[in-house]
Amino acid sequence: MAQTYKSQIMAWGWREIVLDTRADAISHRGDPEPDARIAEYPDCAEGCDAEGHVGSYYLGKHWNLFPSGRFYAPWSATYAWERRKDQAYAVALEAVADKYGGWIESGEGDPTDVYFCRYWPTTPRYN
């Protein structure tokens, strides 16, 4: 099951997805000063720092991506089988994200939004 999910996810346009996170990271204005509060840099996200920026790519709504088509509260005990499928999918998604140098995050404002995030060091921007 996990392997099937992984091949499905691998088939997405990862080259474009990765490039999109780069474009997003580059669009952040200013490098946060060391020890600065990220809140002072409106374009930045958690993980941006003096050496680089985190770019994100919106993958979609949780219920459109995950096999159950539902979004479960973490404490929900219902639909055990579907939750297991979703967990296998999450593991596959994380593995593919890792392969492409990033990770998966849910939206800060809306936990049902799913993003691929990748950290880009600042230095290559000036090359």
Instruction: List residues near Zn ion by CB under 5 A.
Output: 28, 44, 48, 53
Token output for 100: 């492409």
Closer Cβ to Zn ion, 5 or 116, answer by number: 116
Residue 6 CB, nearest approach to Zn ion (Å): 30
Closer Cβ to Zn ion, 9 or 48, answer by number: 48
Residue 103 CB, nearest approach to Zn ion (Å): 16
Residue 38 CB, nearest approach to Zn ion (Å): 8
Residue 43 CB, nearest approach to Zn ion (Å): 6
Closer Cβ to Zn ion, 53 or 118, answer by number: 53
Strand, helix or coil at 106? strand
Angle between helices 2-10 and 80-99 (to 10 degrees): 40
Closer Cβ to Zn ion, 41 or 63, answer by number: 41
Between the CA of residue 48 and those of 2, 11, 21, 34, 64, what are the distances in Å? Answer: 32, 29, 13, 10, 28
Element housing 104 (H / E): strand 102-106
